[in-house]
Amino acid sequence: MVNSNERIGSLRRLPPALILAGSTLLTIVSIGHVDVVGGQANIVGQRSGERSASGRNESRRLFREETFGGNGRTCETCHSRKTGTISPADVLERLSDPNDPLFIHDGLDDGVSGTSRIANHATIRIERPLPPNVRIAGAPSATSVVLLRGVPGTINTPALDPALMYDLRARTLGDQALGAIHDHAQNTVEPTEEQLALIAEFQRTDKRFFSSDALEDFARGGPAPELPPGETKSQQRGRLMFVESEFTRGSTKGICALCHTGPMLNQTSPFNPGGPPGSRIANIGVSERNLLNLPEYTFLIDDGFGDVRAVTMPDLGIPLTNPRPPGVPPPFVRHPAFFAGFFKIPSLWGVKKTAPYFHDNSAKTLEEVAAFYTNLFANNPDFPVQLTPQDEADMVAYMKLLQ
């Protein structure tokens, strides 16, 4: 799954050799300042304002129907109306249609045939170019690598989240749309800037892209959503995990808020010692644990000053993004290998509708998410918490309230 000018076969699995410049996997970093005006992120290069009825109809058509002369895919092929993404259940339902364009190209097991991977995990093959400072051991001529990732959700994100894609490689909604049109839809007709702006505007304004009326109102300048109080004892106990609170050894209070606070529940709290408040990326060990047993690569990461570090995992995340995302420090401040395994922190509003979870879709249910965090906290010396089965149930019960 490593690509050069001639396709090279998959590397054999190598023993983990992860190198991090710190003991905790809950380390995070800010993506920099983002202006928020009336609840909506003011993102450079994206239009706002009202359009005529004909303009709105065209923006809807572009998202739902336009293929740009490609392989038959549209934006809606992978971003469903109901959840903004695709799940294994969605895939199994659609497999009955042999003409569904989901099952071509990067939807196939090896890009040519087979649907077992997408049926089991709803992941897509994406090819990412290797930055100049990243090489792959055993494949010195490789210029890109193929990774397996879930489809980033579109619920609440377009209007309320400036951090786009799991690795932050798209700076605007227009960038994101153009990348998908090129890489996934294999277009033969290039979209115009106006068409990209219309697609972005549809995602920022249409009701289908919001998990609730409260989130839609927030995007239009209304008040920020608040944590629901919870009705059952389990929900109320779960709520305490999401309330900003100083970490107390052995206590579950505030443990979810360490990385899920702010209006969209996707920023770190002031009580997270791993980085500045409001940070937007984190490493919780998803790539390191590799629960789906994905092919691993040994990435050789150079800081530009002769310090080359080896990291073995299936997906590097942030270090594959070139140029470096805003807020990620330059190599002379922090070795880029430090950010191996870092990915975007997702919002939790509407989370019960957006399974599977994590960048590799390795958690199929919220129960599996809770179990993952039980393992994380049990094996993290900086946050020693032993979650019980009741704690897991409380966490899940509360997440299901986040509409």
Per-residue pLDDT reduced to its tens digit, 335-353: 999 999 999 999 999 999 9
Q: For residue 135, how far is the Cα from the chain centroid?
A: 24
Give me the percent of the chain exceeding a pLDDT of 70: 87
Span 61-90, average pLDDT: 98
Residue 22 has pLDDT above 90, yes or no: no
Confidence label for 54 from pLDDT (cuts 50, 70 and 90) = confident
User: Is the predicted pLDDT of residue 143 greater than 70, yes or no?
Assistant: yes
- Decide if 213 contacts 403 (C-beta within 8 A): no
What pLDDT shows up at residue 248?
87
Residues 70 and 185 sit within 8 Å (Cβ to Cβ): yes
- 86 φ, ψ to 5°? -130, 145
Question: Does residue 388 register a pLDDT over 50?
Answer: yes
Q: What is the pLDDT of residue 50?
A: 55
pLDDT above 90 as % of the chain? 82
Give residue 16's pLDDT band: very low, low, confident or very high (50, 70, 90): very low
384/87: higher pLDDT: 87
pLDDT at residue 383 above 60? yes
336 and 133 Cβ atoms separated by less than 8 Å: yes
pLDDT in tens, 230-289: 999 999 999 999 999 998 888 999 999 999 999 999 999 999 887 788 999 999 999 999
- Tell me, what's the pLDDT at 19? 23
Please check whether residue 231 is in contact with residue 78, taking contact to mean a CB–CB distance below 8 angstroms: no
Q: How far is CA 398 from CA 56, 210, 223, 377, in A?
A: 36, 19, 21, 19
pLDDT for residue 37 is more than 90: no
**pLDDT grade for 29, boundaries at 50, 70 and 90:** low
Q: Do 117 and 110 form a contact (C-beta atoms < 8 A)?
A: no
Q: Which of 23-32, 136-145, 336-345 has the lowest mean pLDDT?
A: 23-32
* Neighbouring-strand partners of residue 41: 36
Average pLDDT, the chain: 89
Which pLDDT score, from 0 to 100, does residue 171 have?
Answer: 95
Predicted pLDDT of residue 334: 95
Two structure tokens written together for 100:
């569904």
Q: What is the pLDDT of residues 213-227, one digit of tens each?
A: 999 999 999 999 999
pLDDT for 36 beyond 50: no
pLDDT of residue 312: 98
Q: Position 362: which residue type?
A: S
Euclidean distance between CA atoms 130 and 145, whole angstroms: 7
Cis before 323? omega within 30? yes
pLDDT tens-digit readout, 174-203? 999 999 999 999 999 999 999 999 999 999
Residue 310: pLDDT above 70? yes
Handedness of CA 284, 288, 293, 295 (dihedral sign): positive
- More confidently predicted of 116 and 46: 116
Instruction: Kindly state the average pLDDT of the residues 144-151.
Output: 98
Distance CA 78, CA 185 (A): 10
Q: What is the pLDDT averaged over residues 367-395?
A: 94
The DSSP code sequence of 175-243 is HHHHHHHHHTS--SSPPPHHHHHHHHHHHHHSGGG-SSHHHHHHHTT-PPP-----SSHHHHHHHHHTS
Higher pLDDT among residues 382 and 76, named by residue: 76
pLDDT over threshold 70, residue 134: yes
Distance CA 359, CA 147 (A): 11
Query: What would the two tokens of residue 339 be?
Result: 């950010």
